[in-house]
Structure 1
Amino acid sequence: MAIDDDFDIPETGAVFTFGKSRFADNAPSKFWIKNDVITKVSCGDEHTSVITETGRIFMIGSNDMGQLGLGNTNPVNKPSCVKALKPDRAVQVACGRSHTIAACESGAVYAWGHNGDGQLGTGVLGDSYHPSLVLQLDQPALAVAAGSTHSILLTSNGELYVWGSNDVGQLGLDVDVQLVPMLMTLNEPIVAVEAGYYHTLALTDVTHWYVWGRNDFGQQGLDADVQLGPVLKTLKEPVFAVVAGYYQLLLLDESSANNYCGVSGMTKFGHAGG
């Protein structure tokens, strides 16, 4: 593995990073995993996770709340393997503000890091420096998503589980805090899910999606500042990709025109916003 500009990029590819960092102030950088291919990437506030072709998870960044899952709180400036998960094969990973969720090929779902609001889903509060088992499914999870203090899991049969803080309706439930995964009751199966800092999106098909949670910057495209329960919305064009940010929601349709809601600006949507 490497993070050195003097090295040539290997045939297996590299991850390029930009932005402010404790290790390299606003300096572009890159890294790769030796003899392996990085297939998925997720970023939290100050930490990053990648999954490789062989199903290993590597972490890098801040670790003050154990969000790297390495058994300590030491920051890491080179990709480090989460050895506790090596016996299994990771298929999905999501970084929240200071916690991480991972789903494995065996159907096991793990979480680690900050747990002041139940975002790890273990039934108790308190940070975890090691991966903790959250759920054991019959099939690998289709997707995981993590916000600031809440977590989302999408099963292979379209069921949606949510847990963590619900202080601004980000879980879509009638609770303040959910310490273990709770199955949401929706009218149709879900095919994709995304979590912003305090809002959530769930696609039911290519033109219909539910949104709920915080909306004070218009990140859901609704009128109310807070949406406590799921609201169904419809798009004219089929959507094939969705991304949620701190105060944003971005959907990419087949006409290559981005549909987005929330705070806009050049750093968030690639063009000057209004």
Structure 2
Amino acid sequence: VACGAQHTLCVTNNGRLIGFGRNDKSQLGLEEAKTVPLTELFIAGLESNSIRKLACGEHHSLVLSEGFIYSAGHNEQGQLGRESGLPKFEKVNMLPEIIDITCGNRQSLCVDVSNNLWKFGSSEKNWEPVCFEWPADIVEISYGGFHVIVKDSCSRIWVCGQNTSGQLGLGHRNPVGKFIKYEGIDIIKVPSKVHAKSAKK
């Protein structure tokens, strides 16, 4: 299950992709710009029972299947990872095999099979996927509305983004424009999933 600002995606136990909620930005991959009741969604080229993960931003959606990302929705800042903003799910090219995905409000992140971190979408409207240089393999990623938490294979936590409510855990409320290592409590060494929630202004 994945939730955007006003839309939801989920996969049934028999592998069907279901969406409902707002579709005014085609975030459900449908052409009709309206509120959509519970509806089965179909993605061209996607085999049944192949969806591995879902992720939703404010007005866009990602579906991970067999190492490929399919994106739909608002693309004003390149968050779909492709130049076009067609009102349907399309495959994101220019990426290696992907194993994990997450969305912020207007940006998307993913991890490839070699545990490298990629992003697309930004205030610079850069739709082409960009790979981050990282000192270790990426293990977990989680995106709030405008802040990111990353865990690497050395059990280090890295943070970046808006910090108006102290959501980065740094002891201050200043925004952080580049990833910095979090020097925090010892519990970050436990190999458990990291979750992030956005604090809106």
Q: Which bracket does the TM-score occupy, shorter chain normalised?
A: 0.7 to 0.9
Counterpart of 1:52 in structure 2 is 12
CA distance in 1, matches of 2:96, 2:106: 26
Measure the CA separation in 2 of the matches of 1:146 and 1:94. Answer: 6
Query: Which gives a bigger RCO, structure 1 or 2 (Cα 8 Å, sep 6+)?
Result: 2
CA contact (8 A) 1:55 1:91 kept: no
Percent identity of equivalent pairs: 27
For the pair 1:90 / 2:39, whether they are aligned, the reply is no
Question: Which position in structure 2 is the counterpart of 1:243?
Answer: 195
Alignment TM-score, normalising by the size of structure 1: 0.65
In 1, the alpha carbon distance for the partners of 2:132 and 2:178 equals 11
1:211 corresponds to 2:172? no
Alignment partner, residue 200 of structure 1: 148
Match of 2:115 among 136, 152, 158: 158
Residue 54 (structure 1) shift: 4.2
Specify whether residues 82 and 245 from structure 1 end up closer, same or farther in structure 2 by C-alpha distance, changes over 3 A only: farther
**Structure 2 SS opposite 1:103:** strand
* 1:7-65 Cα shifts (integer Å, max 9, x gaps): xxxxxxxxxxxxxxxxxxxxxxxxxxxxxxxxxx0100000011234443211111000
Who is 2:91 aligned against?
A: 133
Q: Which runs of 4+ in 1 moved over 6 A?
A: none
2:31 matched to 1:78? no
1:69 and 2:29 correspond: yes
2:177 alignment partner in structure 1: 228
Please give the TM-score of this superposition, normalised by the length of structure 2. 0.87
- 1:37 paired residue number: none
Three-state SS of the structure 1 residue aligned to 2:109 is strand
On the 8 A contact 2:19/2:40 being kept in 1, the answer is yes
Contact 1:148-1:198 at 8 Å conserved across structures:
yes
The correspondence for 1:101, drawn from 31, 55, 62, is 62
Amino acid at match of 1:225: N
Return the offset for 1:101: 0.9
Q: Note if contact 1:114-1:128 (Cα within 8 Å) is conserved in structure 2.
A: no
AA of the residue aligned to 1:203: K
Residue 172 of structure 1: aligned partner: none
**Residue by residue, what CA displacement relative to the aligned partner does 1:115-140 show, whole Å, maximum 9, x if unpaired?**
1111111035xx4310122136554x
Q: Say which SS state the counterpart of residue 64 (structure 2) adopts.
A: strand
Q: 1:111 to 1:75 in 2, by over 3 A?
A: same
Q: Deviations over 1:82-134 (max 9, x none)?
A: 343543622111010010011111x221110011111111035xx43101221
Secondary structure of the 1:197 match is coil
Q: CA RMSD in A?
A: 2.2
Aligned residue number for residue 123 of structure 1: 83
Distance 1:203 1:216, change over 3 A: same
Aligned counterpart, 2:104: 147
Distance in 2 (CA, whole Å) between partners of 1:195 and 1:128 is 24
- Of structures 1 and 2, the larger Rg is shown by 1
Structure 1 unmatched ranges of 5 or more: 1-40, 167-175, 249-262, 264-274
